Amino acid sequence: MKLVIVSGLSGSGKSIALETLEDSGYYCIDNLPVSLFEPFIRQAVIGNPGVFRKTAISIDARNQSASLDQFPLTLQLADRFGIECQILFLQAETDTLLKRFSETRRKHPLTDADHPLSEAIELERKLLEPVASRAHLLIDTTYTNIHQLRELIRGRVGAKQDHLMSLYFLSFGYKNGIPLDADFVFDTRCLPNPHWEPSLRSKTGKDSEVIDFLTDIAEVQSYLDDVTSFLQRWVPQFAAENRSYLTAAIGCTGGQHRSVYLVEALAERFRSSLYDILVRHRDLN
């Protein structure tokens, strides 16, 4: 049995993640109380293993805090039953969550007379710490729209090849913030910037003109070689620890030229590896 536990902050995209997994062939259950996890697992593993071969359940702050404190025991139970368990945790910056609740006019599950929305969000972060600290995959949706999140879930969980670690190359612009879910972050702002070439300003690191421009610069190629060597040296160490996901984020000023070029180049270099290669350009329109 393969089990994905979906958790995260309210407004971060848990429902979208669960719906996407359902579309990918998972049997999905929303808001399963932690106290009911054991009887559910016994029924799934012993009673009807065929139906629950691929299962995703949502566990979030709608559980009581005392139940969430028991989450580590829940994982031990899954291990005893020999279940392949992965925890997906979604989060976003507080300002983004405030904006989303304002736009949808939905009630946060922890708001009440004593806890306005901003305080409820921070309380939720604390309540979910036992889950977040054990997450195999952390996704920050601050700069992610619905369609991008669906693509992320399909690529990193729903359609992931079994037993292969996902090596995820992400380009981003520092002006929009560093991605919080990155394992490695490489800063390319020291490299020549195509933005200052008028003919290249409107193009991206996927266009042939920018590719040719950066390919001809020796220091860009040295940077690419150094990052490649670093990842070739250290990624296998993470894979040996049974990691399912690893994110290498490449940043430039705007996320349009240098970081995009390098992400594409790195992905191409690693496609023949034993990893499931995924690519995303966060700030590329």
Q: Look at residue 166 in the predicted model and tell me its pLDDT.
A: 86
Is residue 125 within 8 A of residue 160, CB to CB? The reply is: no
Per-residue model confidence as pLDDT tens digits over 44-73: 877 777 778 889 999 888 776 567 878 888
Is residue 71 within 8 A of residue 130, CB to CB? The reply is: yes
* Cα–Cα separations (whole angstroms), residue 267 to 23, 86, 221, 224, 263: 27, 24, 15, 11, 6
Q: Look at residue 160 in the predicted model and tell me its pLDDT.
A: 56
**Residue 269: pLDDT band with limits 50, 70, 90:** very high
Q: Which two tokens stand for residue 144?
A: 């992610």
Residues of the chain with CATH 3.40.50.300: 2-158
Residue type at position 86: Q
DSSP state for residue 108 in the 8-state scheme: P
Flag whether pLDDT at 135 surpasses 70: yes
Per-residue model confidence as pLDDT tens digits over 141-168: 998 889 889 888 988 886 555 557 889 9
The C-alpha atoms of residue 69 and residue 3 are separated, in whole angstroms, by 20
What is the β-pairing status of strands 276-281 and 84-91?
unpaired
Share of the chain above pLDDT 70, in %: 96
| This model's pTM is above 0.75 | no
Half-sphere exposure of residue 83, counting CA atoms within 13 Å on the CB side? 30
Q: Which of the listed CATH numbers 3.40.1530.20, 3.40.50.300, 3.90.1510.10, 3.10.180.10 matches domain 2-158?
A: 3.40.50.300
Burial of 237 (0-12, 13-18, 19+ CB in 10 A): exposed
Q: Look at residue 250 in the predicted model and tell me its pLDDT.
A: 98
